[in-house]
Structure 1
C-alpha cells in the first residue's frame, strides 16, 4: 500500500556482499526455460519445497528480500508465499522469523485478506511482544482489526504499539485515527501531532488532523490544513505523471 496507509513492510537488510546465501540460480534450483515460464514467480518457492533443501542451506534474510522484491512490483500473493517460507526456514523465535511473519501480514493486508493478515501479525507478536517488529506488527494488527470490524481491539493494539515504541510515527497516527472515530478529539490531535513531529507527514495525516480540528471548532486552522493536504495530493499526482 502507499505510505498513507497505516501498515508497512520492514526495510529488509539487503543481500549479502559478496552474495553467498540464497540465490535465484543455485544448481539445485536450475530449471529448463523451455519448460518453465521464467516470469513464473512460484518457481523458486515450489522448487525449495520439491528439493527439500536443508534449513542451513537457505539464507532466510535473502529469502525475505525476495519477498520484499515481490511487494515492490505489487505481486502480493507471491510475496505471502515467500514470506511464509522464510518464516518456516528461520530459527524458532528469531528476529528473522518475526520479520517474515510481519511482512506476510502486510502482504495479506495489501490483498485485503484481513483474517490471514491478523493471523500472521499474531504469529509475529507471539515470538517477541516487545521488539521493533512487535511495534510494527501491533500497529498493522490494529489496522487489520479495524478493517474487519473489531474496533475495540483495534484501539487496544494501537495503544500497545505506542507503548512498545514511542518513536514509531505510524503507531501514533493509528492511535489518533481510532481515538477520533470514538470522539476523543483532543487526544487524537495530540497523536497526529506526535506522528507529524516524528516525520510521518502526508496528505492523509494532514486531512485527519484537519477533520479533528474542525470538530473542535478550529475552522480556520482546519481549512488551512485541508488546503495543504490538497496541495500535497496535487504534487504527488504530478510526480507520478512525470515518472
Structure 2
C-alpha cells in the first residue's frame, strides 16, 4: 500500500458557481409554499392536496362525478375512500351547492368510521358555505348526531332544533330532536317530536322502538307495548328480506343461520330505505 499524498481533502471541481439564489433548485418550491402553522402534522394528505391544486386544472375536474364516486363508496361501506372522494369533490367544486353536499357526505362517512371530530368539522364547513340552503338541515342534524357521540350533548340539542327550524318537514331532524329531548328526561316534548317524524313518513323499526321507549317513560305502557310489537314485526320482515337476498346471492337454501354485524346493519338500512335515505345521495 502507498501512503496518501498528504492530508489534502478530496478534490472537488472548481466551477464558476451558481447564482444566488439558484432559481433551478429551491428547497421551498412554490407549489409547497404553504403556511406550516396551518398544517396538521398528522394529516397525511396535505402534500397530495396541495399538489392537486397546483397541477390539476379545476375546469378539468367534474366535482359532481367525484361526488357520485364517494356515494358509490358509501354504498359498499368503503368509508375511508369515500371521505377522500368527498373532500376532493368539495375542493374542486365551483358550485357551492355541490361543495356543500360533498362536505355533508364527508361528515357522514367520518361518522360511520366513528371519527366524530372530523365529522363535526365537515358539517361545520358545509354550514359555513350556506346555513339556510336545502342541505343545511341535513348538515345540522348530522352535526347534532356527531356532537352527541363526541360528548357535546348540549350543543347536539341546539343543532337538532336548528335543523327543524330550517326545514319543518325534515323527518330525521324531528327524530333526532326527540331522541335528545328524551335523553334529557323531557318525554312529553320528545313524544311530540317523534310523532312529527312519523307523520312526515319516517315510520320504521328504529323510530317505533324509540317511540315505545318514550311512551314507557310517560307511563303509557299499553300503547308502548303495541308500538313495540309493531316495531318487532317490521324488523323481522327486514331481517327476512336480508336473509332472502343472501340466499339468492349465494344460491343457498335451508336455515339462515346467525346474522353477523354487517347483516344486522343492513337490516337497519333496509328500514331506512323504506323512508328514503337519511344522508344526502
Give the superposition deviation at 1:50: 9.7
Alignment partners' CA distance in 2, 1:161 and 1:94? 20
Partner of 1:89: 92
Give the superposition deviation at 1:49: 3.5
Runs of 4+ in 1 over 6 A off after TM superposition: none
2:77 maps to 1:79: no
Partner of 1:8: none
Give the superposition deviation at 1:199: 1.1
Partner of 2:66: 63
**TM-score, length basis structure 2:** 0.68
Partner of 1:237: 239
Alignment partners' CA distance in 2, 1:103 and 1:226? 32
Alignment partners' CA distance in 2, 1:182 and 1:50? 46
Change (3 A) 1:50 1:100: closer
Which of these two proteins has the greater Rg computed from alpha carbons? 2
Alignment partners' CA distance in 2, 1:232 and 1:196? 14
Partner of 2:126: 124
* Superposed CA RMSD: 1.7
Alignment partners' CA distance in 1, 2:96 and 2:216? 46
Alignment partners' CA distance in 1, 2:159 and 2:177? 9
Partner of 2:252: none
Matched residue pairs, number? Answer: 197
**TM-score, length basis structure 1:** 0.78
SS in structure 1 opposite 2:66?
helix
Which residue, 136, 145, 155 being the options, matches 1:134?
Answer: 136
Partner of 1:151: 153
2:214 maps to 1:212: yes
Instruction: Flag structure 1 segments of 5+ consecutive residues without an equivalent.
Output: 1-44
Instruction: Flag structure 2 segments of 5+ consecutive residues without an equivalent.
Output: 1-47, 246-281
Alignment partners' CA distance in 2, 1:50 and 1:102? 22
Give the superposition deviation at 1:51: 9.1
Alignment partners' CA distance in 1, 2:117 and 2:75? 23
Alignment partners' CA distance in 2, 1:52 and 1:187? 54
Alignment partners' CA distance in 2, 1:54 and 1:143? 36
Aligned pairs (5 A) from 1:5-84: 49=52, 52-84=55-87
Could you report, residue by residue, the CA deviation over 1:110-159 in whole angstroms, capped at 9, with x for unpaired residues?
10100000000000001100011111000000000001111000000000
Alignment partners' CA distance in 1, 2:70 and 2:118? 17
Partner of 1:179: 181
Alignment partners' CA distance in 2, 1:83 and 1:241? 32
